[in-house]
Amino acid sequence: MDSTNQGIIFGSKEMNEPAPSEFIPKHMTPAETAYQIVKDETFPQTQPRLNLATFVTTYMDDYGTRLMNEAVGINYIDETEYPRVAVMCGRCINMVANMWHSPEKSEWKTGAPGIGSSEACMLGGVAAWLRWRARRKAAGKPYDKPNLIMSTAYQVVWEKFCQLWQIEMRTVPITYRHPTLDIERVIEMCDENTICVVPVAGVTWTGMNDDIEALNDALEQYNRITGYDIPIHVDAASGGFILPFINPEKKWDFRLKWVLSISTSGHKYGLVYPGLGWIVWKDRKYLPDEMSFSVNYLGANITQVGLNFSRPAAQILAQYYNFIHLGEEGYRKIHSNSMSIAQYCHDEIGSIPFFRNYTDKLENPLFIWYLDPEYDRKANWTLFDLQDKLMQKGWMVPAYTMPKDIEEMVVMRIVVRQGMSRDMADMLVRDIKDAVSELDKLEYPTPTRIAARDSKKHKGHVFTH
């Protein structure tokens, strides 16, 4: 190392040059300078806890963080070297399965870790497809036209799944009248090629829950009449760790007959830093054998279910730590606070005359709102301008258009998670109020407002709610 650089990081030649962006540099850079360059790349970003766009954990306590840091070099797949990590993972799967009322009797419940909900959703989808295919083959029927049904408010992972595995995606429109999955339409779309229906607990776009119990009842009747076995995979990316603590009586999980698999994100309301997901099947028999790969790795025979081979172990340690440390009581307290802080923000924002909340009651600690239609018609600004203004104060509060069929509707969303206090909520509400009163005074339309007017003119319709 060039000792002359020590202590004068900002006097070094590297600090006076553009950061490497195309080729690996020919020569070495002192560690403290390289560290500073990398650190400074992220310097102007929003503080993660002010990022109200994400569902993913941005706060963990010191012990959880320490455990993760200490395990940062452990590869989960090296089960021979780190057999206790595999045991810990199995215990986590057991706890998640029991939290969702798994009826499985075995010592180790059937499930798998994932890098996030995306991997877990893919595994749930593949299992449903393979089970359907095996049934079709056994009956001597064609198995080349599988389809999957969910609402248009799906998360993009389902589009990826359907593209990658060539499954037809049938989507039921979310409309003003049906803000969640319209079950009648689902049943109309079902046929012998439907591999599963995917309701969502904690819809990404709205924060609402699809009515999974009603879907189960409708499928029970439909399957009885048709003789089909169309099951449910619940995408509970957010709701999987909210419902058991906030609304334990609500039946949405394995208590329902046709729910055969559920996925969630450990790194959302499981309160672990990214990336961790979980999938659990109701019973071993619902996990097709083709999905378990036996690998002879470093002298041990490992059975793996997953898309990736290597994966970090630190998240699993952190999840196990959270389960021990927080217990049901801790999860309930943290999520109840998130719910009441979200409700507080929702009520405060809803009371600003320019705004309307999308729903009256919150089912998860997140919500969306939109501009009052009367005001929207004459305002010189849009929610995209408010997003920019809030970003200047460090808050990330996203504005976006709703899915197909109601895509002309622009909304704004806040996700409350562990790490958001009532005091922070008060600061946020004050910043929103200040920003909208400034925007309201604008005499000329902003570029986003001009673009919105143009696009409405072109479409030839006026947005009504």
Cβ-based neighbour number of residue 139 at 10 Å: 10
Taking phi first (over 0 means left), then psi (-120 to 50 degrees means alpha), and beta for anything else, what does residue 199 get? beta
What radius of gyration, in Å, describes the C-alpha atoms of the chain? Answer: 25
Among 204, 209, 382, 448, binds ligand PLP (CB under 6 A): 204
**Which residues, other chains included, contact 360 with Cβ-Cβ below 8 Å and sequence gap of 6+?**
none
Mask of contacts with ligand PLP, 144-173, x by CB under 6 A?
A: -----------x-x----------------
Binding mask 47-66 for ligand PLP (x = CB under 6 A): --------x-----------
Q: Do 175 and 206 form a contact (C-beta atoms < 8 A)?
A: no
Pick 121 or 186: Cβ nearer ligand PLP: 121
Nearer to ligand PLP, 151 or 216 (CB): 151
Two structure tokens written together for 198: 């995917």
Least distance from C-beta 339 to ligand PLP, angstroms?
Answer: 17
Given 64, 111, 116, 146, the residue binding ligand PLP (CB under 6 A): 116
**What are the CA-CA distances from residue 40 to residues 4, 204, 294 (Å)?**
22, 32, 44
Determine the length of the chain: 465
Smallest gap from Cβ 160 to ligand PLP, in A, equals 10
What is the x/- site pattern for ligand PLP, positions 236-255, by CB under 6 A? -xx-----------------
**Minimum gap (Å) between residue 128 Cβ and ligand PLP:** 15
The answer to whether 376 contacts ligand PLP (rule: CB under 6 A) is: no
Complex with ligand PLP: residue 157 or 435, whichever CB lies closer: 157
C-alpha dihedral, 234 to 239 to 243 to 246, nearest 10° = -170
Helices (H) and strands (E) in the chain, counts: 13, 13
Is residue 117 close enough to count as binding ligand PLP by CB under 6 A? yes
Shortest CB 90 distance to ligand PLP, Å? 21
CB neighbour burial string for 171-199, b if at least 16 within 10 angstroms, e if fewer: bbebeeeebbbbbebbbeebebbbbbbbb
Q: Select from 111-119, 161-169, 181-189, 450-458 the region that touches ligand PLP (CB under 6 A).
A: 111-119
CB of 204 to ligand PLP, least distance (A): 4
3-class DSSP assignment, residue 38: helix
Q: Which residues bind ligand PLP (CB under 6 A)?
A: 55, 116-118, 121, 155, 157, 200, 204, 235, 237-238, 265, 277
